[in-house]
Amino acid sequence: MAAKNALTTSGTKKRSVNRDLAPERIAAILKGLDEAYPNAICALNHKSPWELLVATILSAQCNDVRVNMVTPELFKRFPTPAAMAKASLPELEDIIRTTGFFRNKAKSIKGAGETISKKFGGKVPQTLEELITVPGAARKTANVVLGVCFGKAEGVVVDTHVFRIARRLGLAKTDTAQGVEQELMKVIPKQKWIDFSHQIIHHGRAVCDARKPKCQNCNLEQLCHSKDKTWHS
């Protein structure tokens, strides 16, 4: 009897997961995001792939508003990878101090300048394999730069907003950013990977807050079965 009950429970769980990932539900979520955020773009201010790379490195454990306050002075003083490579660490640390973890970030952006200058002829590489060899450019950073600057969907950008909302919507179950990315890549059409990330990030900032989501303002509310919803229709 215990084995039968276990099988029934397992089967019920499997059907629930399948409903969460049903193509029509995925399509409805994507439609809702398109309606709510038709012009969602990267929130980090930049004028070149190099500037976006640096800004994305600085955005780790820091909000985009703060990064956008810091980067104008940083790029004014060190506008190119070669200039960044020649900067002293104390100079860089002083400029980026308010972004947090400024010592490690200073080493990363200086190292990025050195690597791009010496290994890639001063140009930000356009492949995932090359980008992740640049100091400070892990997979998430590489996906941001490739998607925004080169229109290349090599993966799904999973920041804290995407991680949280993908799990709230039942699109992912794992508890690591890498795992969530792999799950999303299986259910979100590749042509939507870039837009999906931008839209979810905007949704996380405007509506689906980590502590108190504004469910009454969410056009995905009826598609969401999260246990921490604050309002139900």
34 belongs to the catalytic site: no
Q: What is the DSSP string of the chain?
A: -HHHHHHHHHHHHHHHHHHHT-HHHHHHHHHHHHHH-TT---SS--SSHHHHHHHHHHTTTS-HHHHHHHHHHHHHH--SHHHHHHS-HHHHHHHHGGGSSHHHHHHHHHHHHHHHHHHSTTS--SSHHHHTTSTT--HHHHHHHHHHHH---SS----HHHHHHHHHTTS---SSHHHHHHHHHHHS-GGGHHHHHHHHHHHHHHT--SSS--GGG-TTGGG---TT-S---
CA distance 203 to 174: 21
How many other β-carbons are positioned within 10 Å of the β-carbon of residue 150? Answer: 14
Q: Which of 105, 110, 140, 195 is catalytic?
A: 140
CA 76 to chain centroid, in Å, comes to: 26
Q: Which of 4, 159, 175, 227 is catalytic?
A: 159
159 belongs to the catalytic site: yes
- Would you name the residues annotated as active-site residues? 140, 159
